[in-house]
Amino acid sequence: MKQEDPSDFVQAPGDRLTRAAGKQLAVYGVAAVLLLTAAMFLLNALAGLTSSAAGMSRMAVDVENNTITSYLRQEPPQMNSMLATDAVSGMVLAHVMEGLLRYDQYGELVGGVAERWQLEGNTMTFWLRDDARWSNGEPVTAHDFEFAWKNLLSPSVGSQYAFILYPILNAEQANNGEVPIDDVGINAVDDRTLVVTLATPIAYFDRMVAFVTYLPANEAFYRQTDGRYGADADEMLYNGPFMMTSWVHGASMRLEKNPYYWDADRIRLDAINFAHMTSDSSTLLNLFKDNQIVMADLGSEMLEEAMLQGWSLNQFMEGTVFYTDFNHRPERLTANLNLRKAMALVHDSGELVNKVIKLPGYLPGKSLFPVWLPGVDDNFREEYPAPVYQRDVAQARVYLQRALDELGLDRLPPLVLLTGDTPVSRIQAEYYQEVFKRNLDIDLVIDAQIFRQRLEKMTAGDFDLVAAGWGPDYNDPLTFGDLYASWNLNNRGRYSNPALDAQVRIAQNSLDMTERMRAFAEIQRIIHEDVVMMPDYERGYVYVTHPQVRGIVRHVIGAETDFTNAWIDAGE
């Protein structure tokens, strides 16, 4: 509409309305912002009162109380050393319990509760120190070890790690219910002498007793908890450097110095708070920046910022080997050797680590045996270098054609790659999808599952390829070497080869280190030639620690993060 008559021109009523409405809106807006701000502070104060971390220091380092605050990657299922299978339980247990032997800050095996120990033929004798005490003041005796070990071997307890005691005479039979539990070769001669009879003499038994499953338990206390042993902070007795004083499930945990610990002078911290239970790396980084935790692992996308901030970064080789396992069950396509060879020939772990994962500390995988494993004199991998496949696409296509001919197929149906749900495993899976598609025209279907689900599918054989990892239980190549033995339940692809089995038997039973290492080298060769699996990487961590906290140690074997030697350096 056009206004012809200027005298009729008035301000449009809408304009005025808009202005008034705008003013009102602005008032409302300001009021809303103020109200929300007030609510925010109120809620924050309320949360502070009710939070699980209430009463705990919110600072990473509390110099006054000689306390540090850290995190746990997840809530431990329980703290019963006889049932523990996961790394988080293992880490906490290493702080609150002590076995016969333990690893010191340099990763050397030293005496824990045992003062000295000796292997004579089939018999291993441990002499216990007389000043080791439980946190209620009772002495730690050889009977506590005998009870714990026999208890976890009894079929009714159903310990998943019972197999680690199988070197002991009759342990396997007792665990299967074939012989009475009293026939197992564990015998507390008196309070301070423990005699263990082994099925066959093995050279590495002292390294095994440092493992979590070999921890002691006080029988009287265990009976008194009525099946709730290790379920709560007060349902346990502690004999380690620290004791758990509070455990708010799913939220926090507090460890305090154990006054009854025999070597209490060694411990310089008064308490450790695990105030957060999360594994989300960006949350952890924010907590670290906020000065709420003393250390945090970094993802590749955080490195640039860490360098910019000038943080002191550390690197740690975790010792775990990650590999892509094939399903060797006969009904699977991956049971075909030529197909596996073709895939191994386009697989390039160097490219995976250097270009895709991009995290320092990761080593390109070359073998099932990680680089740090001890050999006879030097490291095993120095003495027996691992054979590797170089990427050769033309050769791979030749093998693929052979495989197709053998299988009577024109084209491979899609293969299922079972993998985890972490960022690294997802990127890795997407990278493999492209590598095998581009070079061999093999379609990979990614099946990303949470850990428990993945384990279930691995056990059921519901995969063609699976991104798997294996961490060491003890410091001997056998902890990796028997992985593909046909009887090993962790051999998820059901690989079965009598030649490899024979070598595993030699490695298990021989006392001659050179002979054992030769057996491991032979296993390494068979795995390479038969393409049992494709090594991906050995995992490492880049982590940042609080500048005032010194002496945090990370172990390949035992507690992944060890605060027992840590102290606060208030000077900085």
Per the CB < 8 A criterion, the answer to whether 353 and 428 are in contact is no
Q: Judged by CB under 8 A, does residue 280 bind other proteins?
A: no
Least separation in angstroms between residue 307's CB and other proteins is 5
Query: Cα separations (Å) of 274 from 86, 240, 278, 572?
Result: 17, 17, 10, 23
Least separation in angstroms between residue 458's CB and other proteins is 14
Q: Judged by CB under 8 A, does residue 455 bind other proteins?
A: no
Candidate list 51, 74, 125, 314; residue touching other proteins; CB under 8 A: 314
Cα angle 393, 362, 61; round to 5 = 160
Candidate list 77, 360, 374, 469; residue touching other proteins; CB under 8 A: 360
Per the CB < 8 A criterion, the answer to whether 174 and 154 are in contact is yes
**Residue found by looking up tokens 């924050």 in the block:** 44
Q: Judged by CB under 8 A, does residue 333 bind other proteins?
A: no
Q: How far is CA 265 from the centre of its chain?
A: 30
Q: Judged by CB under 8 A, does residue 469 bind other proteins?
A: no
What mask, x for binding other proteins by CB under 8 A, covers residues 17 to 56?
xx--------------------------------------
Candidate list 119, 198, 337, 356; residue touching other proteins; CB under 8 A: 356
> Interface with other proteins by CB under 8 A: which range of 151-159, 259-267, 295-303, 497-505?
295-303
Candidate list 84, 209, 353, 478; residue touching other proteins; CB under 8 A: 353
What one-character-per-residue DSSP string does 380-408 give? HHHHSPPP-PPP-HHHHHHHHHHHHHHHT
**433 or 497: CB nearest other proteins:** 433
Least separation in angstroms between residue 315's CB and other proteins is 4
Candidate list 523, 542, 556, 566; residue touching other proteins; CB under 8 A: 542
Neighbours of 190 (CB within 10 A): 10
Residues of span 385-414 touching other proteins by CB under 8 A: 393
Candidate list 77, 139, 201, 299; residue touching other proteins; CB under 8 A: 299
> Interface with other proteins by CB under 8 A: which range of 244-252, 288-296, 330-338, 424-432?
424-432
Q: List, in order, residues 6 or more apart from 61 with CB less than 8 Å away.
A: 67, 68, 69, 294, 546, 548, 549, 568
Packed helices 337-346 and 423-440: angle between N→C axes, nearest 10 degrees: 110
DSSP 485: S
Q: 3-state secondary structure string, 246-303?
A: EEECCCEEEEEECCCCCCHHHCCCCEEEEEEECCCHHHHHHHHHCCCCCEEECCHHHH
The one-letter amino acid code at 206 reads D
The one-letter amino acid code at 304 reads E
**201 or 461: CB nearest other proteins:** 461
**204 or 431: CB nearest other proteins:** 431
Q: Judged by CB under 8 A, does residue 139 bind other proteins?
A: no
**406 or 441: CB nearest other proteins:** 441
Q: Which residues here bind other proteins, judged by CB under 8 A?
A: 14, 17-18, 105-106, 282, 299-308, 310-315, 350-351, 353-356, 358, 360-361, 393, 416-417, 423, 426-427, 429-431, 433-435, 437-438, 445-449, 542, 547
